Amino acid sequence: MKYPELSEVDTLGYEELKVVLRNLRQRPVRRSELVVRCGERVMNTSGLGQEKWAILEQVAIASLDIMHFALAEECLAMLATNFGPDGKRVSRLRGMVLEAKGLYDEAVKVYNKILEAHPSDRQSTWRKVAILKAQKKHDEAVREIEKQLSTVAITAEEGYLELLNMHVLNEKPEYGKAVTACEELILQDPTNYAWLMLYAELLYTIAAQDGGSGRKPSLLLSRKYYSESILNNDGSNNTRSVWGLLQTCRTVAPLLSTPSEKEENTNLRSWAETRLKSLYNKVEGSHAGYSLTVSK
């Protein structure tokens, strides 16, 4: 989906702006400045119908993302006037304003009050986790997610994905725990090529750190999962898995001993090299030349 450039927003009509905002609500794309620029032009016009409240909420959250607190509070005031100050979504937005300003203790009180009345409110649960992350309380955030995974507050997919991200992006990554989280993701959706690719990358990374006997089995398993990812998506948007397959074949090659192991590895490597060559031969630009050289 193509979105307008920021410089094009002033040339768009109201109906076009509403379509842009609607598309940005429906797809999880973070384009906060675009939302604010479009929203500022339409939010005070008539003719928005029932979309008005969704637009105000959307613009408020985007405003917080770019620290435009005045606009966020203006939207919040309009929503509170229509829905009352204590409704679930208005309260949650009020909590997000406090959170964006760094007033974490007050924000947590707001979210806790929402959760007393609505214990399975997913978004308030995640806001509390976000506050723990912002406060650099990594271990507490992990414990909170693990606790919520046994409730209906958050879905398994989003919970395990967040756990995986936290373990990998930590200053001291915990790849073993990330692997466990990724396995849960694959159990949820065994044909998702992205989870399969991620699992392969985690295994490769673990192998890279292992100077001992665990290196070869991790690399072979990584090779297998890159292959599974390609089997589930052999489109050009999964070129990363083809590169991963080639890299794994190259890295594991010196560790193989039997003729059958070497033959299988050679066949997989040849396949990956051929696939990359056919992809990059169709690409214009000098960068393709570097990729072709690296893939040989």
Partner 1 sequence: MSSHSISLSPASFGKMYLHCFKYASRAVSGLLVGKSVGGVVYVADVLPLFHTYTQLCPMVEVGIAHAQEWAKDNGMRVVGYYAASAGLDDRPAPTKFTENVMKSISSEGESIVIQVLNDKIRADISEIPYKFFSASDLKTGRTAESGICKIQYLADGALCNLGDSMAPFERLRLAVKEDQTKLLVDFEEHLEDVNLDFTGSALTKFLTENVAPLE
Tell which residue, 291, 295, 292, 207, has the closest CA to residue 254.
207
**Shortest distance, CB of residue 207 to partner 1, whole angstroms?**
8
Nearer to partner 1, 153 or 166 (CB): 166
Nearer to partner 1, 6 or 19 (CB): 6
Nearer to partner 1, 209 or 270 (CB): 209
Interface with partner 1 (CB under 8 A), residue from 125, 218, 247, 265: 247
Residue 280, interface with partner 1 (CB under 8 A)?
yes
Q: Could you say which residues in the range 23-82 bind partner 1, by CB under 8 A?
A: 30
Residue 288, interface with partner 1 (CB under 8 A)?
yes
The Cα 285–Cα 142 span in angstroms is 44
The Cα 272–Cα 281 span in angstroms is 14
**Shortest distance, CB of residue 169 to partner 1, whole angstroms?**
6
Alpha helices in 189-238 (DSSP H): 193-209, 215-232
Residue 139, interface with partner 1 (CB under 8 A)?
no
The Cα 57–Cα 93 span in angstroms is 8
The Cα 113–Cα 91 span in angstroms is 9
Contact characters 201-220, partner 1, x per CB under 8 A? xx-xx--xx-----------
Residue 284, interface with partner 1 (CB under 8 A)?
yes
C-alpha 90, offset from chain centre? 26
| Residue that is written with structure tokens 């105000």 in the block | 56
Q: In the chain, how long is the greatest CA-to-CA distance?
A: 75
Q: How many CA atoms lie within 13 A of 267 on its CB side?
A: 7
Task: Determine the residue type at 146.
Answer: E
Nearer to partner 1, 3 or 53 (CB): 3
Nearer to partner 1, 88 or 240 (CB): 240
Q: Which residues of 144-176 are buried (b: 16+ CB within 10 A; e: fewer)?
A: bbeebbeeebbeeeebbbbbbebbbeeeeeebe
Residue 240, interface with partner 1 (CB under 8 A)?
yes
| Residue that is written with structure tokens 């995974």 in the block | 149
Report residue 271: phi and psi, to 5°. Answer: -60, -45
Question: Given the rule CB under 8 A, which of 16-24, 80-88, 121-129, 170-178 is the region that contacts partner 1?
Answer: 170-178
Count interface residues toward partner 1 (CB under 8 A): 41
**Shortest distance, CB of residue 288 to partner 1, whole angstroms?**
7
Residue 136, interface with partner 1 (CB under 8 A)?
yes
> For binding to partner 1 (CB under 8 A), which residues are involved?
5-7, 30, 134, 136, 168-169, 171-173, 198, 200-202, 204-205, 208-209, 222, 236-237, 239-240, 243-244, 247-248, 251, 279-280, 283-288, 290-291, 293-294
